[in-house]
């Protein structure tokens, strides 16, 4: 018998979101709501299972996590949700139940809560709030605790400021004795999980509440709460980076995901978004309007402004932008530069090389000390295959060169401006592939 299992309830209809998409797949910064809950659970144990009611949620989770999916075909309430999973949880000694719509709980708080539950049949999480809203109210009666749902609460109960945070720790043997006793005689006609407390009290089981920080336990039930959760998490992440020595000019317009790593002495200008597993080393500047996703940025990199960088690396002292798109495993090697209106796709720009303006380099490898003239393009796609362009060290590419890939330019070579390069160029050579110019003398006079 394994010790502890964690069941995440994510099968609710989420009707209050008024969205065609399941609630738990809504975004909180750069992840889905459910990601935070699953990551948290997996930090405690690998015995995690998620209860779902839609293929969309099931597919999302299965593609990302090695955890068990359980199905609730009819959404009859949180009590019904836990009950129908009993075959799964009856194998454990303890069962932790998490609401799939409560994403901000910290891993350390989850652990503290579970540790606190060891000597109880059931411990529920609560928080104390000035805005108890529609949360279930915690009613303390002598030694007992019960939860009254907002819709069933009396006016006096509605004034209670301690509310159910939706996370429970049960002794499985105790839960088994009460889970079948709950009914749906309430304002919502649902089987409420919190009703098990009533029966646990009757059986003199030991029940307790564990007070959590309010900001960690807010639930998402409508779009306003979702926006609020996004802002809370964003502020928390920005403050963490500020306290680590990151320089953020405008806290109101910068968004950083929870997995991003940033060194001290990185400067982040207004209107920047940094997502995914991005990593930025000290001395770098991320210019206004830039969006980084899984970007690895070295020391003293200057991203001037309006750069979109995805799954790519900018090494020490490189420079990018303004107005640049760098994507799909591209790399700016040390001291290189890619500038205005440039797109790099799966392309390496070698050390000290430059792609200063108006170019598309796709599936290309540029050696060191290369200069790409304005308007140059690698024609990498022939309609079927993506082909490679190799440009050797110390090459000078004239403006408006088209490289019809696959093609290879030897070291220390050059192309004449306006060339369409269809053949390899040997080392130390000039490729000229354009019509020679003819001048028609006195042409203007003749026209008159």
**Where do contacts with ligand UD1 occur on this chain (CB under 6 A)?**
9-12, 51, 72, 75-78, 80-81, 99-102, 135-136, 147, 149, 163-166, 192-194, 219, 221
Hey, what's the torsion of the CAs at 64, 65, 71, 73, to 10 degrees? -20
Site string for Mg ion, 137-166 (x = CB under 5 A): ------------------------------
Give me the least distance between CB of 63 and ligand UD1, in Å please.
20
Q: Which residue has its beta carbon closest to Mg ion?
A: 219
Q: Which listed option, ligand UD1, Mg ion, none, makes contact with residue 184 (CB within 5 to 8 Å by class)?
A: none
Contacted entry of ligand UD1, Mg ion, none for residue 135, CB cut-off 5 to 8 Å set by kind: ligand UD1
Nearer to ligand UD1, 194 or 298 (CB): 194
Q: 127: which residues sit within 8 A by CB, 6+ positions away?
A: 162, 163, 165, 211, 212, 213, 214, 216, 217
Of 168, 196, 41, 189, which Cα lies nearest the Cα of 107?
A: 41
CA separation for the pair 388, 411 (Å, rounded)? 16
Binding of Mg ion at residue 101 (CB under 5 A)? yes
Listing DSSP states for 49-72 in one string gives EEEES-HHHHHHHHHH---EEEE-
Residue 218 beta carbon to ligand UD1: minimum distance, rounded to whole angstroms: 8
Dig out the tokens for 226 from the structure: 């979702």
Nearer to Mg ion, 109 or 221 (CB): 221
Identify which range of 198-206, 221-229, 264-272, 280-288 contacts Mg ion by CB under 5 A. Answer: 221-229
Least CB distance to Mg ion at residue 224 (A): 13
11 binds, among ligand UD1, Mg ion, none (CB under 5 to 8 A by kind): ligand UD1
Residue 336 in contact with Mg ion, rule: CB under 5 A = no
Least separation in angstroms between CB 227 and ligand UD1: 17
Tokens of 18: 């008024």
Residue 103, CA distances (Å) to 50, 150, 232, 356 in order? 14, 21, 11, 44
Residue of 26, 80, 241, 357 with catalytic role: 357
Q: Which helix (H) or strand (E) holds 247?
A: strand 247-248
Whether 368 is a known active-site residue: answer: no
When asked if residue 219 is in the footprint of Mg ion (CB under 5 A), the reply is: yes
Is 137 within 8 Å of 151 (Cβ atoms)? no
Shortest spacing between CB 362 and ligand UD1, in angstroms = 44
- How is residue 343 written in tokens? 């797109």
C-beta separation of 321 from 306 below 8 A = yes
Residue 162 interaction partner, one of ligand UD1, Mg ion, none, beta carbon < 5-8 Å per kind: none
Find the helix or strand (DSSP H, E) in which 113 lies. Answer: helix 107-116
Instruction: Read off the DSSP letter of residue 193.
Output: G
Min CB(91)–ligand UD1 separation in Å: 20
Partnered with residue 431 across adjacent β-strands are 415
22's contact among Mg ion, ligand UD1, none, with CB below 5 to 8 A by partner kind, is none
Tell me which of Mg ion, ligand UD1, none is bound by residue 78, counting a contact when its beta carbon lies within the kind-specific cut-off of 5 to 8 angstroms: ligand UD1
Helix-strand-coil split of the chain, %, nearest 5: 25, 30, 45
Return the exposure string of 210-240: e unless at least 16 CB atoms fall within 10 Å of the residue's CB, then b. Answer: bebebbbbbbbbbeebbeebbebbbeebbee
Q: Which does 132 bind (CB under 5 to 8 A by kind): ligand UD1, Mg ion, none?
A: none
From residue 54 to residue 93, the character string flagging contacts with Mg ion as x (rule: CB under 5 A) and all else as - is ----------------------------------------
How many residues form the binding site for Mg ion (CB under 5 A)?
Answer: 3
Helix (H) or strand (E) holding 253: none
Bridge partners of 208, per DSSP, are 123
Task: Name the closest residue to ligand UD1 (Cβ).
Answer: 136
Lateral strand order in the sheet of 348-349 = 261-262, 279-280, 296-297, 313-314, 331-332, 348-349, 364-366, 389-391, 407-409
Q: Which is nearer to ligand UD1, 72 or 352 (CB)?
A: 72
Q: Which stretch binds Mg ion (CB under 5 A): 214-222, 255-263, 293-301, 332-340?
A: 214-222
Task: Tell me how far, at minimum, the Cβ of 374 lies from ligand UD1, in Å.
Answer: 54
Query: Is residue 190 within the footprint of Mg ion (CB under 5 A)?
Result: no
Q: Report in angstroms how near the CB of residue 164 gets to ligand UD1 at its nearest.
A: 4
Q: Give me the active site residues, please.
A: 357
**Binding footprint of Mg ion on the chain (CB under 5 A):** 101, 219, 221
């Amino acid at each position: 018998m394994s010790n502890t299992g964690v069941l995440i309830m994510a099968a609710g209809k989420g009707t209050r979101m008024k969205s065609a998409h399941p609630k738990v797949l809504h975004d909180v910064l750069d992840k889905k709501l459910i990601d935070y809950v699953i990551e948290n659970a997996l930090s405690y144990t690998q015995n995690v299972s998620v209860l779902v009611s839609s293929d969309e949620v099931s597919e999302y989770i299965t593609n990302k996590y090695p955890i068990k999916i359980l199905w609730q075909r009819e959404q009859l309430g949180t009590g019904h949700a836990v009950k129908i999973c009993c075959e799964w949880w009856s194998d454990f000694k303890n069962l932790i139940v998490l609401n799939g719509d409560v994403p901000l709980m910290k891993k350390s708080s989850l652990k503290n809560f579970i540790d606190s539950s060891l000597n109880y049949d059931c411990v529920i999480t609560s928080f104390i709030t000035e805005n108890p809203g529609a949360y279930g109210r915690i009613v303390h009666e002598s030694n007992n605790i019960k939860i009254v749902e907002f819709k069933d609460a009396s006016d006096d109960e509605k004034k209670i400021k301690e509310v159910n945070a939706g996370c429970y720790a049960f002794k499985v043997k105790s839960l088994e004795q009460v889970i079948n006793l709950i009914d749906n005689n309430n304002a919502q006609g649902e089987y409420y999980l919190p009703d098990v407390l009533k029966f646990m009290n009757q059986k003199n089981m030991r029940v307790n509440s564990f007070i959590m920080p309010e900001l960690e336990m807010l639930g998402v039930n409508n779009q306003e709460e979702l926006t609020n959760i996004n802002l809370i998490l964003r502020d928390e992440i920005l403050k963490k980076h500020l306290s680590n020595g990151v320089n953020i000019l405008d806290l109101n317009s910068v968004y950083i995901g929870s997995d991003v790593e940033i060194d001290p002495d990185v400067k982040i200008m207004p209107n920047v978004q940094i997502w995914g597993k991005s990593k930025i080393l000290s001395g770098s500047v991320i210019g206004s309007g830039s969006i980084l996703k899984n970007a690895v940025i070295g020391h003293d990199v200057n991203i001037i402004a309006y750069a979109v960088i995805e799954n790519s690396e900018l090494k020490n002292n490189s420079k990018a932008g303004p107005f640049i798109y760098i994507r799909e495993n591209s790399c700016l090697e040390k001291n290189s530069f890619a500038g205005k209106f440039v797109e790099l796709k799966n392309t390496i720009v070698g050390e000290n090389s430059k792609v200063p303006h108006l170019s598309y380099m796709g599936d290309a490898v540029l050696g060191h000390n290369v200069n790409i003239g304005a308007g140059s393009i690698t024609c990498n796609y022939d309609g079927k295959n993506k082909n490679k362009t190799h440009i050797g060290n110390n090459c000078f590419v004239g403006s408006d060169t088209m490289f019809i890939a696959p093609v290879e330019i030897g070291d220390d070579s050059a192309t004449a401006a306006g060339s369409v390069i269809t053949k390899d160029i040997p080392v130390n050579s000039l490729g000229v592939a354009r019509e020679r110019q003819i001048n028609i003398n006195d042409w203007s006079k003749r026209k008159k």
